[in-house]
Amino acid sequence: MRKLLLGLAIAAATAGCATMTSPTGRTQYVGAVSQAQLDQMGEQAFAEAKAKTPQSKDSKQVAYVRCVVDALVRELPAGSGQGTAWDTAVFVNDEPNAFALPGGKVGVYTGIFKAAENQDQLAAVIGHEIGHVIAHHHDERITRQLAAQGLLGVAGEMAGARYGEGAANTTTQLGGMAAQGFFLLPNSRAQESEADVVGQQLMAKAGFDPRAAVDLWQNMIGAGGSRPPQWLSTHPDPNARIGELGSRANGLLPTYEQARAAGRKPRCG
């Protein structure tokens, strides 16, 4: 009976979902929400960020970010936002971070300029974040979270029916921790590694030096503080990440050189 209920829960949680292959060959479960809904969520999240966080009034700084974003977006695959004027914002926040959202939104915190010392390093940051969008990571994350919530609800009901309400609550709480640690977060690390791949390829095609991604992460490590254990982190180990970025950069040099020869030579600052 428990196996049957679990099977029904899985079927209900994944109903309406689809599979697709990610840029690095992973099988992705997507489709819990439509692209129009994703774009709307991105628009709303971006508007909330603008309402809550002051934006930079430094016109040169804003133009610098806009220039890097435009150069990267021009190289996006067809159907992934190419030709769309992506909305950008520079937020006054000391955290060295950036993000991109479905619907063509890019936000950069002023703190990132402490780590990204030139346009190539900034392109590594923004290319990575855009990589999350074009690799459908937001769709994948939402689909997985909805599936996890559906399974936890059924598990809690099963425990409650047999052992009472207290057991149901405990099962749901412990199940949430297990899903976070072994179901959702490991996927997040896979997405982070994948966004590195996509972003580094994108920056090379746009004429930014892919080797700058290595320098960026060395700077990030220098600026960073304590880190959680890797198995509870949503990001890959920094040293392993740098090694992978360095190896990949060598293979991307011909792409970078071809882009430069074709006239793609960003002059953002």
Catalytic residues: 129
Cα(126)–Cα(63) distance, integer angstroms: 14
Length of the chain counted residue by residue? 269
Cα(28)–Cα(267) distance, integer angstroms: 37
Q: How far is CA 220 from the centre of its chain?
A: 17
Cα(156)–Cα(128) distance, integer angstroms: 38
Locate all alpha helices (DSSP H) within the chain, ordered by sequence.
2-13, 35-52, 59-73, 119-134, 137-163, 165-179, 185-205, 212-223, 238-261
Q: How far is CA 3 from CA 84, 155, 178, in A?
A: 48, 11, 19
- The answer to whether the beta carbons of residues 100 and 106 sit under 8 Å apart is yes
Burial bucket for residue 176 (CB in 10 Å: 0-12, 13-18, 19+): middle
Instruction: Give me 16's structure tokens.
Output: 């309406």
Q: How far is CA 174 from the centre of its chain?
A: 27
Instruction: Give me 91's structure tokens.
Output: 């937020």
